[in-house]
Amino acid sequence: MRIGTRGSALALAQSALVRERLSGRPDDHPLEVIETSGDRDQTASLRRFGGKGIFTKEIEEALLQGRVDLAAHSLKDLPTETTPGLRIGALLPREDPRDALISRSGMPLDRLPPGARVGTSSLRRKAQVLARRPDLTILDLRGNVPTRIARLEEGRFDAIIVAAAGLCRLGIIGRATELLDDAVMLPAPGQGVIAVQIRADDKAAAAAVAPLHDRAAEAEAAAERALLEALGGGCLVPIGARARVQDGRLTLAGFVGHPSGTPFLRRSGSGGASAPQSVGRELADTFLHDGARAILDSAREDEVVP
């Protein structure tokens, strides 16, 4: 099976996890590195790209053209709308979905000094940090994980926020100063989940990836992405979500906020783990009833990049 992947250290580590879990030897499943539009420009704000498929479009095109048989993605990068002709064949077991703070001083978020420069390209992270610490300065930070850490060490930032899952998969989770729990920051929908995408009519690929699929990751991701879709959000909007499955029940916590830190909403819901999408849609209804649409519309207007 030929596996399409981005070329960053993290993307290659994630593709290697897929490769190792497929039957046969890893060498039987070559990796094809594909540059995406989000990779070509590492300086422009992500909002300039429009927010949908910026890290997945070119890989999906290679899959549709038959240049690769599988595509390995971070699920949080995949739009909630399914690309015609493609489907998700498997979701790997979820890595730690939390966000991690790495600070030069070793101080956690609540002890950073006023005005400390915190780097992130995520409006979701920006909104939640400023909701808790409006005295901090949030600066845009792009690039792969090693590049972000290097910029921190160069002194451009006092702290940065990245996904804990990425640090785990790169073997550098020890660099984290603090793992941010749900009360502080909710992750992006699907964060920590690797999605294996295949052509919808490829039975051989479907059979090959079926053993990789994790049911708990499926239920959690379905609830979180249903919430995101019902709110009309993409991968760049200030929406956070965290689902948990336990004893046949699914709980879902959500966040919607303005990138300035205010206003924001935090709500939660629960339901049967067998109907995760219903839990997500019902929580979205609660958010919309409580004013989420106005917050999101304002966020989009205020974050327009010329």
**What does the chain look like in DSSP terms, one character per residue?**
--EEE--SHHHHHHHHHHHHHSSS-GGGS-EEE---HHHH-SSS-GGGGTSSSTTTHHHHHHHHTTS-SEEEEEGGGS-SSPPTTEEEEEEPPPPP--EEEEESS---GGGSPTT-EEE-S-HHHHHHHHHH-TTSEEE---S-HHHHHHHHHTTS-SEEEEEHHHHHHTT-GGG-SEEE-TTT----TTTT-EEEEEETT-HHHHHHHGGG--HHHHHHHHHHHHHHHHTT--TTSSEEEEEEEETTEEEEEEEEE-TTS-SEEEEEEEEETT-HHHHHHHHHHHHHHTTHHHHHHHHHHHT---
Same fold, 3-93+193-213 and 224-302: no
CA atoms within 13 A on the CB side of 201: 4
CA atoms within 13 A on the CB side of 16: 9
- Please give the C-alpha separations between residue 250 and each of 74, 93, 143, 254, 278, in angstroms, as whole numbers: 22, 17, 34, 13, 11
> What pLDDT score was predicted for residue 26?
87
Tell me the domain boundaries of the chain. Answer: 3-93+193-213, 99-180, 224-302
Which class is 224-302 in CATH?
alpha beta
**Encoding tokens for residue 288?**
């919309």
Q: Is the bond preceding residue 263 a cis peptide, omega within 30 degrees?
A: yes
| 27-42 residue pLDDT tens | 999 999 999 988 876 5
CA atoms within 13 A on the CB side of 103: 17
Q: Looking at domain 3-93+193-213, does it have CATH number 3.40.190.10? A: yes
Q: Which residue has the higher pLDDT, 50 or 243?
A: 243
Q: What is the mean pLDDT of residues 80-100?
A: 97
Q: Is 77 a catalytic residue?
A: yes
Please tell me the distance from the alpha carbon of residue 160 to that of residue 51, in angstroms, as a whole number.
Answer: 21
Mean residue pLDDT across the chain? 93
CATH architecture of 99-180: 3-Layer(aba) Sandwich (3.40)
> What pLDDT score was predicted for residue 41?
64
Of 27, 39, 77, 285, which is the active-site residue? 77
| 54-75 residue pLDDT tens | 889 999 999 999 999 999 999 9
> What pLDDT score was predicted for residue 237?
84
> What pLDDT score was predicted for residue 89?
98
Split at pLDDT 50, 70, 90, the class of 86 is very high
